[in-house]
Structure 1
Amino acid sequence: MTNPIHIGFLIYPQVTQLDATGPAQVLSLVPGAIIHFIWKTTDPVPTDAGFAILPTDDFDSCPDLDVICIPGGLGQGAIMDDQDVLAFVRRQGEQARYVTSVCSGSLLLGAAGLLTNYKAACHWLLRDRLPDFGAEPVAERVVRDRNRISGGGVTAGIDFGLTLAEELAGEQAAKIAQLFLEYDPCPPFDAGTPEKAGPELEATVRAMVADVSL
């Protein structure tokens, strides 16, 4: 009988849903995995894509997690100093087997004091903020440093999910998940990093989030 593996994602208002739902879909295929979407209440939580996610747990009902994952999102600035959120993340992070993030979620791990002297990934727009929290930024889609595993921006969450699936259940299980999900990306454009996209597109994207505070 497979032991349960409790994997929790913090879901907050204006979270980037793919940061959470992408790896959650991958990790749901790990034998024994139980996925938790967690917020202060179990009321629907609006995402930055315009639809809501229904949490499975609140901070009090959430069990001790084997994996805690913090996704990024446009609403993250509103919780970077939220003591209830930071206390929950810190409490779970101090006992979890793996402390993880996707996109700008690594900054919230840092704000909770969980990335000091660790290497970490982050969305390229915010990667230079990691040293503010004692972390070492790394420009990779997935970064592993001891029991900290972090994914880069948004779509890197799928790569992150497969990496974590291998950690939890082995390479074969991760490959089965990859094949089941037909994860064989071949995008129609090659503009997924600032270096590939060029300065004009980079400036356009920076302008899109110029008023967002994280």
Structure 2
Amino acid sequence: MDVAFVLYPRMTALDLVGPYEVLGHQPEVTSHFVAASREPVTTDAGLVVVPTATFAELDRADVIVVPGGGGWAEVLEEGVVAAWLRVAHPTATWTASVCSGSTLLAQADVLDGRPATTHWALRDELAARGAVVATDRVVVDGSVVTGAGVSAGIDLALTLVGLIWGDERARFTQLLIEYDPEPPYRAGSPESAPAELVALARGVFAGR
């Protein structure tokens, strides 16, 4: 099973690495890191990832995972990822996004009229691009699976494992990675965080 992880400059590392750690260790999976070129890609926090294929070299995969990150607006403007998705999505069994990666699916017309989720700060942006925005952490609609912000990529990938190989495999994978979150603070959503922190976070996203 070929799984294509999309890379682009200033993507968020956890959006990629979370799903990769869950999916990449499945024995049936061959992972591909696909980008516009084979030049190393630098994430928004400075991690460097080397692509294994270009969009021209890999035009199909069984599963596609599109991360989000600080560079999503620039990638939308360039349109290269969306152009590849228009080719690769129709033949994929599953197409997935994490965080602002959903905007790239929307640009490729994958989310037109579909329920989908994204980072809380980008819900209006995603709705403006034709999706029916949900606030759930993971949304499954047919062959399209979307995850909310950053850390939800792990939840999304475990959901995919359950859909592809069954709940028992997903539970076993969850146990292996000891995914049993107990965050030290109750501030992981705009509903639970103090209003001043929500305002500060919105300002950070507005400046990206």
Which residue, 72, 82, 97 being the options, matches 1:101?
97
Q: Deviations over 1:117-176 (max 9, x none)?
A: 110010000011222222100001100111110000000001001000111111111111
- Alpha-carbon contact 1:163-1:174 (below 8 Å) kept: yes
- Structure 1: any 5+ residue segments left out of the alignment? none
1:156-171 matches, cutoff 5 A: 156-171=152-167
Between stretches 125-134 and 89-98, larger displacement belongs to: 125-134
Distance 1:34 1:63 in 2: 15
Which residue, 178, 187, 200 being the options, matches 2:196?
200
Distance 1:189 1:202 in 2: 14
- 1:66 maps to 62
Distance 1:94 1:150 in 2: 16
Between stretches 59-68 and 103-112, larger displacement belongs to: 59-68
Identity %: 41
- For 1:130, what is the secondary structure of its paired residue? helix
1:64-213 matches, cutoff 5 A: 64-212=60-208
Q: Which amino acid aligns with 2:200?
A: T
Distance 2:193 2:79 in 1: 38
Distance 1:203 1:130 in 2: 19
Which residue, 2, 21, 25 being the options, matches 1:25?
21
Which residue, 38, 43, 47 being the options, matches 1:47?
43
Q: Deviations over 1:26-47 (max 9, x none)?
A: 0113231111111011111000
The total of aligned residue pairs comes to: 208
- For 2:154, what is the secondary structure of its paired residue? helix
Q: Which amino acid aligns with 1:142?
A: V
Q: Which amino acid aligns with 2:36?
A: K
Deviation at 1:63, TM superposition (A): 5.2
- 1:35 maps to 31
TM-score normalized with structure 2 length: 0.96
- Alpha-carbon contact 1:101-1:149 (below 8 Å) kept: yes
- 2:6 maps to 10
- Alpha-carbon contact 2:102-2:118 (below 8 Å) kept: yes
- Alpha-carbon contact 2:4-2:34 (below 8 Å) kept: yes
Distance 1:104 1:37 in 2: 18
Distance 1:86 1:123 in 2: 19
